[in-house]
Chain A
Amino acid sequence: MSEAAEGGVRLPESLRGVEPVQSVRTPIRLEYDYRPSASAESYLRAYGEKRIIGHRSPVDGAVFIPPRGVDPRHGVAISEEVDLPDTGHVGNFCVTHLPIPGRKGLEVPYVSAWIHLDGAAVGFLGLVSGCPSDEVRIGMRVRAVWKPDDELGTTAENIRHWEPTGEPDVPLERAGNQSFHAGRGDEAGA
């Protein structure tokens, strides 16, 4: 056994000829007591009543969902809550053929989509189901499919998925994120 080990490192007698350690496991775990903000709390409680809440900007009336208490375009606080309908359109989507580790009851392929509620200026994430995945398209009208009343909690999981309504599509040029046109009279949707 040569005195020099890998990397030109000289080892003392006691470490020569033994299998060198090359890696070490150092797992870490951090625990947090997560408390939602007041606006997130109202949003989650509304889910328990099958209602969806947004925040209306004092600048131009654009409605943001989920409500975060701020208009991110202007850095302005928002306090006005508005009820949004549980209908909207697909602003964008992705078909995924790999399962999510640890998530049960999700068949592959699944479609995750930006759901643009009627009257909202931005989309939020949801699953689209109720039609073949290759029929999902930008502009497709959808409605929420809620869990049965006795399974409702203070969680966005109350909406199992979004299903097609069969109404005519929102035209492509008016589909998707309208937040940067808000207040100019050219918003999409209802």
Chain B
Amino acid sequence: MKPVREVAVVSTAVHQVPALTGTTEVQLMVPLLNAARDAVGLTQADIGFTCSGSSDFLAGQAFSFVQTLDAVGAFPPISESHVEMDGAFALYEAWVKLQAGEVDTALVFSYGKSSPGSLRDVLALQLDPYFLAPLWPPADAVAAIQARLLLEAGKVSGEELAEIAVRSQRNAVGNPNAVRSSPDVAVEDVMAEVPIADPLRPSDLAVESDGGCAIVLAAGDRARQLCGRPAWIRGIDHRIDAHGLGTRDLSRAPSAELAASVAAATADLAIGSLDIAELHSPTTSQEAILIRGLGLGASTEVNPSGGALAANTLMAAGLVRIAEAARRIIDDGADRALAHATSGPCLQQNLVCLMTGV
């Protein structure tokens, strides 16, 4: 969709930990929502539209997103929506609402607290309910089958996957929202790990975390008033591939490629010329697919935060990528950034968001 209004990320807040104990999703989100609004001097009354993303299956509480609105302060009644998807897709809905000209500001948030349950089993339930879910294939096993296709086709080597793991763990050092980091891990260390889901080793798989993310969006002059250097969303698109694992080429992510090319055309930006890219890759093999498929250039710094490999909060990790990329524009002076979010097995659905500082 061609933007008709300039819309920017003007503030972000992120919190991720290995497991949230003693804290509800509501208590997690209160400080994050306040931090995102306070950073730009807004109260909920100033927010035109609020959109969230979460999944009830994580904590096993039906319609839990309704309760999480307690954290927003939704009285008097607010304009609000929710998606059972990663918060990045909630951000897309808010962006469309801003494009429609109905509102000038939006609050987007998402959260995931998967620690009380078994994420491997929950994720099995997103597969085909007749042919696959009754077999309870673990998510890491499904990703491993994809990884082997990639390796045996010669599209990537085991060492290259290990290099991705090493980069993530090293970049994550100093990121308070990363739950796996190491300043001195080496490729040999990763290669020496015993595979969890052959050929994937522990460092090839994203580490599960609990957490949340909140982002404030604003349009045009409102964004300029609120933020010295807004992260302007110049192109954003999301696409989906077929559901059946056997009906697509798992060694590629055509929906990610298409989303990236549409976003780049809209933004009039070359993907090869970006400063940074934050990729939502649940495995190193999926990161390898994305780096090649999106067409990232050698000069682009990939996942300076450590990426989703360093902390993969289900339902929030994609929005966290947008927050991390935007923060580097807002606070650190980066000029051109890509953020990617995924949903579904083996990179089935993909969102690409291109942002610039000017």
- Assess A/B contact in the complex (Cβ within 8 A): yes
Where the two chains meet, the residues of A that have a C-beta atom closer than 8 Å to any C-beta of B are 24, 26, 28, 30-35, 37-41, 68-77, 180
Q: How far is the CB of B26 from chain A (nearest CB, A)?
A: 5
Please report the number of residue pairs spanning A and B whose Cβ atoms sit closer than 8 angstroms: 74
Interface size range of chain B in the complex = 20 to 34
Interface hits, B1-55 → A, CB 8 Å: 21-24, 26-27, 30-31, 33-34, 44
Lowest 8 CB-CB distances: which A-B pairs, in order?
A75-B73, A72-B70, A38-B22, A32-B60, A73-B75, A32-B116, A37-B24, A74-B73
Q: How far is the CA of A35 from the CA of B210 in the complex (A)?
A: 14
Q: How far is the CB of A124 from chain B (nearest CB, A)?
A: 14
Q: How far is the CB of A134 from chain B (nearest CB, A)?
A: 33
Among the listed stretches B128-136, B146-154, B174-182, which one makes contact with chain A, having 4 or more residues with CB under 8 Å of it? Answer: B128-136
A40, A72, A75, A180: which contacts B34 (Cβ < 8 A)? A75
Among the listed stretches B117-125, B186-194, B217-225, B256-264, which one makes contact with chain A, having 4 or more residues with CB under 8 Å of it? Answer: B117-125
| B33 and chain A: residue at smallest CB distance | A75
| A75 and chain B: residue at smallest CB distance | B73
* A30 and B27 within 8 A (CB): no
Query: What residues of B have a CB within 8 angstroms of the CB of A30 in the complex?
Result: 57, 60, 117-118, 121-122, 125
* A77 and B27 within 8 A (CB): yes
Q: How far is the CB of B223 from chain A (nearest CB, A)?
A: 23
* A31 and B117 within 8 A (CB): yes
Where the two chains meet, the residues of B that have a C-beta atom closer than 8 Å to any C-beta of A are 21-24, 26-27, 30-31, 33-34, 44, 57, 59-60, 69-75, 116-118, 121-122, 125, 129-130, 133-134
* A35 and B26 within 8 A (CB): no
| B19 and chain A: residue at smallest CB distance | A35
Given contacts A37-B23, A38-B23, A72-B73, contact A28 B133 (CB under 8 A): yes
* A32 and B117 within 8 A (CB): yes
Query: What residues of B have a CB within 8 angstroms of the CB of A180 in the complex?
Result: 75
Q: A69-B26, A75-B44 are in contact. List 12 more A-B contacts (CB 8 A).
A: A26-B129, A26-B130, A26-B134, A30-B122, A30-B125, A31-B118, A35-B21, A40-B24, A41-B22, A70-B70, A72-B74, A75-B72
* 7 A-B interface contacts by CB (under 8 A): A26-B129, A38-B22, A70-B70, A71-B73, A73-B75, A75-B30, A77-B31
Query: What residues of B have a CB within 8 angstroms of the CB of A76 in the complex?
Result: 30, 73
Q: Chain A binding site: helix, strand, loop or mixed by DSSP?
A: mixed
Q: How far is the CB of B136 from chain A (nearest CB, A)?
A: 9
Query: What residues of B have a CB within 8 angstroms of the CB of A32 in the complex?
Result: 59-60, 116-117
Given contacts A32-B60, A41-B22, contact A72 B130 (CB under 8 A): no
* A24 and B130 within 8 A (CB): yes
Query: What residues of B have a CB within 8 angstroms of the CB of A31 in the complex?
Result: 117-118
Q: How far is the CA of A88 from the CA of B26 in the complex (A)?
A: 28
Query: What residues of A have a CB within 8 angstroms of the CB of B24 in the complex?
Result: 37, 40, 68-69
Query: What residues of A have a CB within 8 angstroms of the CB of B116 in the complex?
Result: 32-35
Query: What residues of A have a CB within 8 angstroms of the CB of B26 in the complex?
Result: 68-70
Query: What residues of B have a CB within 8 angstroms of the CB of A28 in the complex?
Result: 125, 133
* B23 and A77 within 8 A (CB): no
* A72 and B75 within 8 A (CB): yes
Q: How far is the CA of A76 from the CA of B30 in the complex (A)?
A: 7
| A180 and chain B: residue at smallest CB distance | B75
Q: How far is the CB of A125 from chain B (nearest CB, A)?
A: 15
Q: How far is the CA of A26 from the CA of B31 in the complex (A)?
A: 41
| B37 and chain A: residue at smallest CB distance | A75
* B117 and A70 within 8 A (CB): no
Query: What residues of B have a CB within 8 angstroms of the CB of A72 in the complex?
Result: 69-70, 73-75
Query: What residues of A have a CB within 8 angstroms of the CB of B121 in the complex?
Result: 30
